[in-house]
Structure 1
């Protein structure tokens, strides 16, 4: 009698195992994405879409692109000026916006200022204008020169708080010409400051 119960148990377990196997096969065996070669009509549509997108990816610096660039350039300008006015030993916030040479130049200027015991007080008022002077593409690199006119309140003081230069009560208009650069084939959309012209 015990043997018959054992056989029944074995049969039941086999049926359960078979059911689970069929369920798993039904779930795992299904294709959830496209596999194989695309039909000819879809392949043609895909090629046409890629061709249409090429001009945009060729990075034409048209009027719309220039407007977007200037918005970013003004933000970068304020960020860099403000960062340089901080009394740290080196540039921090704006580091990604500077190429290696400019970053090193700014840091050297900060070190020299700090070594003399000077510190800066700069209040950024705003940008009056930002105009693209020229843009040149060399191979895959696009350089854009921008003329900035901005207003700041600035002064340099020594460790005894004596004013060395500037006026903490007067708004000063500053004129800067900066050159930004970007590899137009790069997926990275960020521009970097590569030169400051006087």
Structure 2
């Protein structure tokens, strides 16, 4: 009889352990696929555009909202520029920040660069200035045009590592005007680059 009670105890303990395991797995999740760490820079961008399902989106674009927007826009600008210069010939970190048309343009440019056997070298010094030029609302869509002034060291090299353009020793000032867009009725507060003005 004692043996039967011991078996029952073992079975009960196993069931309890299994229950606890399933509960922990349900709460903590399980490891699957790639779990490498993204760069701190990209993580900051993700934090800026992260969806907060507890808050309703605001269609206000007052001074405070503009300041927050510009903080994120500077990070997005650097992420996009440096991602385009990476030599894996594809847009990775910046993809969520681009609408389909801009992504396709960047992707085509990278493919053409790869076909020519060229690769880019870039050191992003920083954004000197980011200023909202204008913001317009078209229905539910808010478009914000931003003037950027930034400094980079950049050059393009060919297969033999000869310089095709740029100067690896010289800081270059670049001027860009980008248009970001967001649907103000969406619970997703993501801004995307929708146009690059010349």
TM-score (norm 1): 0.71
Q: State the shift of 1:88 in Å.
A: 1.6
2:73 maps to 73
- Looking at structure 2, the residues matched to 189 and 57 of structure 1 have their Cα atoms a distance apart, in angstroms, of 7
- Looking at structure 2, the residues matched to 170 and 128 of structure 1 have their Cα atoms a distance apart, in angstroms, of 17
2:122 maps to 122
Root-mean-square deviation (CA, aligned residues, Å) is: 1.0
Q: State the shift of 1:189 in Å.
A: 1.1
- Looking at structure 1, the residues matched to 162 and 121 of structure 2 have their Cα atoms a distance apart, in angstroms, of 12
- Unpaired runs of 5+ in structure 2? 1-55
Deviations 1:37-96 (A, max 9, x none): xxxxxxxxxxxxxxxxxxx85511000000000000000000000000001221111000
Question: Once superposed, which parts of structure 1, at least 4 consecutive aligned residues long, lie more than 2 Å away?
Answer: none
Contact 2:57 2:188 in 1 (8 A): no
Higher relative contact order (CA 8 A, sep 6+): 2
CA, structure 1 residues 57+79, in 2 after alignment: closer, same or farther (shift >3 Å)?
closer
- Looking at structure 2, the residues matched to 59 and 108 of structure 1 have their Cα atoms a distance apart, in angstroms, of 34
* 1:41-190 pair list within 5 angstroms: 57-190=57-190
SS in 2 for 1:65: helix
Q: How many residues are paired up?
A: 143
- Looking at structure 2, the residues matched to 57 and 186 of structure 1 have their Cα atoms a distance apart, in angstroms, of 7
Q: State the shift of 1:106 in Å.
A: 0.1
- Give the number of the structure whose residues are more often helix, by fraction: 1
- Looking at structure 2, the residues matched to 58 and 87 of structure 1 have their Cα atoms a distance apart, in angstroms, of 38
Structure with higher Rg: it is 1
- Unpaired runs of 5+ in structure 1? 1-55
